Amino acid sequence: MFLIIVLGLIGLGIVVTVHEAGHMVAAKLTGVEVEAFSIGWGPRLLTRTYKGTEYRLSVLPLGGYCKLKGETAFQKALETGSARIPQETGSFYTAPVWKRVAILVSGPLVNLIFAILVLSIIWYAGFSFETHENRIVLASDAAVENEKSPAEEAGLETGDRIIAINAEPVENFRNIQQKVAASPREELELTVQRNGEELFITVVPKLDRQTGAGLLGVYPWIPPVLAGVDGPASVAGLRPGDRILEIDGRGIDHSIALQDAVRAGGSNLHVVYERNGEIRETNVAPDTGETGEARLGVSFETITQSSPSLSPAGALVQGVSETWETLALTVQGIGLLFRGVDLSQAVAGPVRIVYFTGEVAQQGFQAGVGAGFSSLFNFLSLLSVILFFMNLLPIPVLDGGQILMNLVEGVRRKPLSPRAIQRYQMVGGLMILALIVFALMSDFIFLAGR
């Protein structure tokens, strides 16, 4: 857990620091003075002043901030009873409206550019990932599943191989997950192979109210070949490479069947398996895992797939394409919040974001240093796109709300009064505070369940 938190804080800190750096660079280019730029919050560990800006490294690794000259000048005007914000050289509110808007836009914009660059580098370097074949097991065939799934209602069967979705080829189960997750309540035309025949089946994934993703109700067909063993399986003499054939006389065709057999079995399971073409038998006494369910202590083989290393131009095109797709899904996700999604599950606060970032990084690093950095920065590109979109929403306090306020001033051709700015900021502050409290409560409920 400690490593997850550390990696998560580092990851979130990178995304927020990039955002604030965008504001800083734009301010310097437009002649607005930057009084301080900090990586982290709280007490300062290191400081250095360069060209009028104090650069800080602070204790709390929670992103950072960019302090512009005069950005709180409206508060000083209120304290002195002035009806106008003081006009000082190099001050934020002294700058023309277009310069202020440029500064405000630059933070989110740099997040978007960061996402494109990160994804382009990943595609240029090439990457690999673990997945399973495009053959499926119906969730309704699992002992723990009682509800009829969209897949079953559409006529899919366990053992089917999905080879295309909406005429786009599907090579592995990861492709299926990606396409289905992005299409809740939308018709999908599946091309399916079954017993040597090719079928066309229309299915409508249901909306997962906890995540907002589409659900088909299928698991990957994972052959019961062991990739790793520990605990009870190791004690019973099972080894990587063994293929489980039967448990208590029940035939095992895939991992779901194995899990069901273990769940339904007693304290001593009779296991028939194959090793190097030889049929063997053993008895395994399952133990209880963290979830309280019986477990053998086995993991299964996966398929390692590698992406081609693209040319710089090809990688940039792919980076732009993936960033656009992520942005479209983010917009779609906002719409789903008003279509019955459980907000306490779908809205993640800073605690959960740190946890998810760290978890993704940790899982990646377990597969190797290269895979770890690829997984971490791929996730950070996702966060960057979300930060780009969310910050441009016209909510006071956020960049989008500030942009709106300055555009109103530009249309009026008359500066807003300090009192109007204060009230506007206060409304936004209360909205953001309410959202943070709600998100933090849902975060802690989520973590308590982990």
| Residues labelled as active-site residues | 20
- List all residues 6 or more positions away from 28 whose beta carbon is below 8 Å from its beta carbon: 34, 53
DSSP string, 120-167: HHHHHH--EEEE--SBEEEGGGSTT--SPPHHHHHT--TT-EEEEETT
Give the separation between CA 446 and CA 349, rounded to whole angstroms: 10
Cβ 201 vs Cβ 192: under 8 Å: yes
SS3 194: strand
331: burial class by Cβ within 10 Å (0-12, 13-18, 19+)? exposed
The CA angle 354-357-359, to the nearest 5 degrees, is 105
Neighbours of 265 (CB within 10 A): 18
Cβ 197 vs Cβ 160: under 8 Å: no
Give the separation between CA 241 and CA 143, rounded to whole angstroms: 26
